[in-house]
Structure 1
Amino acid sequence: MAGVTRNRPIPTIKPDDAAFIRSLLIHEDDQVLAFNKPSGLPVQTAGGRGQSLDFLLWAFAKSNGKRPKLVHRIDSGTSGVLVVARTKPAAAHLSEQFASRTTEKTYLAIVSGDVPADNAGVLSTPLKKVPSDRGGREKMIAARAGEAGAQSATTAWSILSRSGNYALIEARPETGRMHQIRAHMAILGCPILGDRIYGTGKLSADRLMLHAARLDIEHPNGSRLSLEAPLSDDFLAKASGLGLRT
């Protein structure tokens, strides 16, 4: 993923779309951009068709066709911090941190079900991909260590607020598997509200109640960069309506 697209025709970005992507900015400098991605906006789309954050990055393209480059992804339904690189060296520097798991990621999720009695814990259940029977081509299920296709996966979690069988959970994934937090919360017995694959989808919330709240990463200049994305109004309203403190 390291590298910056160059020498390509620049697609026309509508003024409203350019204003929209710029409204999502939470950090901007000459090497790094970071956005508070809204739930429902895909980071990329198959074949580049349709609106995505990646396509909207053309709003930041230079006249020679060079444009910012993705260095990681979050699910379409997940909101929150998404960082991109503006230069080839920056892309290599940031991509390496995600690959080597030296970034620190903090997510917030509203869950329901058999909420753990403990206020914190670490889930280290391996995961493997299988075909999905609900929304999406694949999903993750619990696997045994050493099983064919099993991937190690570790998520530290803590409960920030409780209300009946609902909870606001802070999740800190140490690995970066597909759907890791979503699958681990379901394995824990309390899937994320609005999760159509691991939970009850629209029956519990209009969107996936998972938010990438903070990302701590080393800036290409060597300094530490802490990126924070505020919670959206719909997330706050859902938590408040359930009696959860944010």
Structure 2
Amino acid sequence: MSVHKPGIKKVTTHQLQAMKERGEKISMLTAYDFTMAKVLDQAGIDVLLVGDSASNVMAGHETTLPITLDQMIYHAQSVVRGVDRALVVVDVPFGSYQGSSSEALRSSIRIMKESGGHAVKMEGGEEIADSVKRVLSAGIPVMGHLGLTPQSIYKFGTYSVRAKEEEEAKKLISDAKLLEELGCFAIVLEKIPSALAGEVAKAVKIPIIGIGAGPEVDGQVLVVHDMLGINKDFSPRFLRRYADLHTIMTDAVQGFIKDVKDRDFPNEKESY
């Protein structure tokens, strides 16, 4: 667990609320390990999401469904150790909160106690209201997640944009209001039309963080491996690549291989 260093002002749920109120946008990225978390935290990121996207990015699964609660706790522990400033939010994985509110509470307590994370995130609206209520009643901060909810991929059958139809758009707005009423401190909106996302951000007082939800929301989140260009297989419209680390890393590895084969590494200075 990270020991808080004096002089560093930690980001809290309260501060995120104040950021929305003064119109300052919130920056959020995923992190799954100590080294990356440390880099992102020192760069000044506001929120780190230990996402169940670790299932895809770190473990190579096709969906987020296979990752377990134990695996999520392991990733969260690693991230928390690397963080001095950012708020760390941990996804409650598929199958560990949908069954009942008591299961949701058990899972969330384990995440908080064993990882030292600062909040949990759960996907869904009205259908998980009891679970959200129960977790919040234990004093655990909850971030909601609406729109494209990847844990429900087999229900939707596609990763395409959600809430294009009026009925789904209405449900999305009422779900956002419900999550706010229950006491969620923020909501992630994934892959929904920009205008609707803006409408939701205005309809609730809590921060709305978008991914593929346009610029009218209160903050943005991306998967760090996509944003850094480590992962080249995924190019959705909403992704901006800020680096091409795939090429840089490939060149570095090939340079190492060449130097080893050519007997150029290690040289005299690099030997004892």
Q: TM-score range by the shorter chain?
A: under 0.3
Greater per-residue strand proportion: 1
Higher relative contact order (CA 8 A, sep 6+): 1
* Structure-1-length-normalised TM-score: 0.25
* Structure-2-length-normalised TM-score: 0.23
Greater per-residue helix proportion: 2
| Greater Rg by CA | 2
